[in-house]
Amino acid sequence: MASERTFPKAIGSLEEVFNHLDAFYAAEAIETGPAMSLSLVVEELFTNLVKYNTASRNPILVRLGRENGRVRIELVDHDVDRFDPATLPEVDVNAPMSERTPGGLGLHLVRAIVDHISFEYEDRVMRIVVVKNVERADV
């Protein structure tokens, strides 16, 4: 099953985003563990678009699909300036408390969870694609 929907570009949209995801998990019989991980990935990516792609307030498209044992999630943000999340500073997870800052943690978690992530930017459209195997028992 493929499913897609747009959401206003605002942190306040998260509850509706989660509802959309929960309906997808139920339809695809995705277990709680992988579902939690996927929700975390979508929240981190969605909130990054809200925080950093401020050139437009166009809604964000969230597209969900499953092929065999893998879930593919795509977030599309229209009419925005180029923003490459790869340019965000890497988190030093070994740093002591005095040197830790909150920035970049979300993308660090996403990279640890998904099996594939790609960022594309063309004609002022940003597209983020993540793929996760949901039939393996991990985060």
Partner 1 sequence: MFDIKRADDGTVKLIGRFDAAQVEARRAEFEALSGSCVLDLAELDYVSSAGLGLLFATLKRLTESGATLKLINLKPHIRELFQIAGFDRIFAIE
Residue ranges that bind partner 1, judged by CB under 8 A:
11-12, 14-15, 18, 33, 36-37, 39-40, 43-44, 47, 91-97, 100, 102, 105-106, 108-109, 112, 139
Q: Which is nearer to partner 1, 29 or 93 (CB)?
A: 93
Greatest Cα pair distance in the chain: 47
Beta strands in the chain (DSSP E): 2-7, 60-67, 70-78, 116-122, 125-133
Q: Which is nearer to partner 1, 68 or 98 (CB)?
A: 98
Q: Which is nearer to partner 1, 116 or 124 (CB)?
A: 116
Exposure b/e, 7-43, CB count within 10 A at least 16 = b: bebeeebbeebeebbeebbeeeebeeebbebbbebbb
Distance CA 10, CA 12 (A): 5
DSSP run (H or E) holding 30: none
Q: Nearest distance from residue 47's CB to partner 1, in Å?
A: 5
Q: Nearest distance from residue 18's CB to partner 1, in Å?
A: 7
Q: Nearest distance from residue 14's CB to partner 1, in Å?
A: 5
Q: Nearest distance from residue 16's CB to partner 1, in Å?
A: 10
Q: Which is nearer to partner 1, 49 or 126 (CB)?
A: 49
